[in-house]
């Protein structure tokens, strides 16, 4: 298995598990697994950063890699602090943003991990 595929599969697998966990949390179940959700989120950030480094090493976009590094940092801070933002009935808005931020990270991994390969075929 090549690096590009491994990075994308890791991100996709984590995304699937995280969405299932998120749905369980939203419905009031599996709250004891929040730490698993946090750890997987941090692994996704590391995967994003690895994809950015891989893209840079392979001649990918420097600005896109910079966005990925900053996105990973922001995702970590937001994920760890999101429980304290807009508590009460409006907290679902933060949960939706939390989901979007995580899915955007997966999208960034996809773009970064594919970019070097697609450049090689041009």
User: What percent of the chain lies above the pLDDT cut of 70?
Assistant: 93
Prediction pTM value: 0.87
> Where do the domains of the chain lie?
3-120
Q: For residue range 36-52, list pLDDT tens digits in order.
A: 999 999 999 999 999 99
In the 3-class helix/strand/coil scheme, how is the chain assigned residue by residue?
Answer: CCHHHHHHHHHHHHHHHHHHHHHHHHCCCCHHHHHHHHHHHHHHHHHHHHHHHHHHHCCCCHHHHHHHHHHHHHHHHHHHHHHHCCCHHHHHHHHHHHHHHHHHHHHHHHHHHHHHHHHHCC
pLDDT at position 103 over 60:
yes
pLDDT at position 121 over 50:
no
């Amino acid at each position: 298995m090549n690096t590009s595929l491994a990075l994308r599969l890791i991100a996709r697998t984590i995304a699937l598990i995280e969405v299932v966990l998120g749905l369980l949390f939203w419905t009031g179940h599996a709250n004891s697994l929040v730490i698993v959700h946090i750890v997987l989120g941090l692994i996704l950030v590391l995967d994003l950063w690895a994809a950015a480094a891989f893209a840079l090493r392979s001649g990918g976009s420097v600005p896109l890699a910079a966005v990925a590094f900053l996105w990973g940092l922001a995702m970590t801070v937001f994920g760890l602090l999101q429980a304290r933002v807009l508590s009460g009935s409006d907290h679902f808005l933060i949960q939706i943003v939390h989901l979007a931020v995580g899915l955007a990270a997966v999208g960034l991994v996809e773009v970064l991990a594919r970019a070097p390969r697609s450049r090689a075929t041009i």
